[in-house]
Amino acid sequence: MNEIINLRRRQLLAGSAGTLAAGLAGSAVGIAGWSPRAWSAEPAKPKPLPDYVAWKDAQSLIVHSATTIETKRSAFGTSVITPAEQLFIRNNLPAPDASFVADRNGWQLAVEGVKNPRKLTVAELKTMGLETVAMVLQCSGNGRGFFPHKPSGTPWTVGAAGCVIWSGVPVRAVVEALGGVAEGMRFMTGTGGEKLPEGVDPKGLVVERSVPLKAMEDALLAWEMNGEPIPLAHGGPLRLIVPGYTGVNNVKYIKRLAFTRDETEAKIQKTGYRISPIGVKSDPSHPSVWEMNVKSWVNYPNPDSGPVPAGGLQIHGVAFGGVNAVKRVEVSLDGGKTWKEAKLVGPDLGRYAWRQFVFPVKLKPGTYTIASRAIDVEGNVQPENRLENDHGYINNSWRDHAVQLTVA
């Protein structure tokens, strides 16, 4: 933390790098989730969208800070795909300036840890293959706001997630073209291209993440999101996409893709994004936040929708299984005492995407606690309780995500 605090102080004193300073201030926690910060369910008063995401739909979003912006539960539609204007933002460093996307095809990626390492431009990558994957993008800390111990970090409820379509070249196609993975490599390590301030240990700030080699199988080097060039705010011109893994593993503005024997020594990997017991500082002995777990939640009704009249109601929400497809979803109207199967609707965009579910009911006046519970094709059942952990990661408790409804 001292590095960060000192960095901020220096920059503020120097009166320069205002954007960086502001960004760091906003995402102090973000620079890998260690800094203590006052926990709050929602910002005291609505903040405006920062300039770099001024194109987003302010009505649909909760601005926690310049680098942490959440989709409102009430804004999630029923059309499977989350539009870019509504998609959450969570940057570990301040977003780079627009020069990053001035020449998208000219952006360079160094590929290392393969038989024939080399640099490739996006233009070259575009000649090497093309694939498209629909995927849930979810921050590791989505659902943190439900942890009663008020972990440091943004108190997201459900909106640090979206389902998006990415296009790019399969990592395996690039690796094949470069002679295959070098011997003995066990991890795929991506490095973000953010410019780091001088005079600090880059390991303390760099967004560099390692995932197990097997994650390469369906990974993409993507230049397109939802049919458009990836916006800078979401990692354009080039982003590493690791379907089924939490957001931080999908490295933005990727400048280096390395196959490595060991996990990176970067702080964000070594001690950040790990599951440690409450009160225990995380270290490399604690499990990394990698694959997502089975999860669902109801989007309608939601805390903002207020009482509804008695009669018909289409309860709906989303369900996903991380690396596994969702098999079924159950809904409870009585806080988990009894469950009934919901209907999966709409197009199935593949195992990494979420499914919409609908549960039609006729309700008499009264109060209801509506919960949903997803089961994946491997038989994993969304649990009642969260896995307690210091930083409030990977919360998939159905109880935490339940909503109260008053029928008038």
Number of residues that bind a second copy (CB under 8 A): 45
Determine which helix (DSSP H) or strand (DSSP E) holds 106, and give its type and residue range: none
What's the closest the beta carbon of residue 309 comes to a second copy, in angstroms?
9
Whole-number Å distance between alpha carbons of 215 and 228 = 25
What's the closest the beta carbon of residue 227 comes to a second copy, in angstroms?
4
Whole-number Å distance between alpha carbons of 277 and 149 = 12
Which residue is listed with tokens 């998006």? Answer: 164
Site for a second copy contains 345 (CB under 8 A): yes
Whole-number Å distance between alpha carbons of 52 and 161 = 19
Residue 67 or 86: the one with the smaller Cβ distance to a second copy is 86
Within 346-385, the residues that bind a second copy by CB under 8 A are: 346-350, 353, 356, 358, 360
Phi, psi (deg, nearest 5) at residue 68: -135, 105
**Residue 72 near residue 159, CB atoms below 8 Å:** yes
Site for a second copy contains 129 (CB under 8 A): yes
Site for a second copy contains 219 (CB under 8 A): no
Residue 223 or 290: the one with the smaller Cβ distance to a second copy is 223
Residue 216 or 349: the one with the smaller Cβ distance to a second copy is 349
What's the closest the beta carbon of residue 367 comes to a second copy, in angstroms?
19
Within 43-82, the residues that bind a second copy by CB under 8 A are: 57, 76-82
What's the closest the beta carbon of residue 73 comes to a second copy, in angstroms?
14
Instruction: Candidates 122-130, 185-193, 263-271, 386-394: pick the segment binding a second copy (CB under 8 A).
Output: 122-130
Greatest Cα pair distance in the chain = 68
Instruction: Candidates 159-167, 199-207, 263-271, 364-372: pick the segment binding a second copy (CB under 8 A).
Output: 159-167
**Residue 173 near residue 125, CB atoms below 8 Å:** no
Residue 27 or 356: the one with the smaller Cβ distance to a second copy is 356
Instruction: Return the number of other C-beta atoms located less than 10 Å from residue 388's C-beta.
Output: 14
Residue 179, C-beta contacts closer than 8 angstroms, at least 6 positions apart: 114, 115, 116
Q: And the tokens for 258?
A: 């390395």
Packing angle, helices 18-26 and 2-14, rounded to 10: 150
Q: Applying CB under 8 A, which of residues 224, 276, 325, 336 lies at the interface with a second copy?
A: 224
Residue 40 or 406: the one with the smaller Cβ distance to a second copy is 406
Site for a second copy contains 84 (CB under 8 A): yes
268 alpha-carbon distance from chain centroid? 15
Residues of the shown chain interacting with a second copy in the complex, contacts defined by CB under 8 A = 57, 76-86, 126-134, 165-167, 224-229, 311-314, 316, 345-350, 353, 356, 358, 360
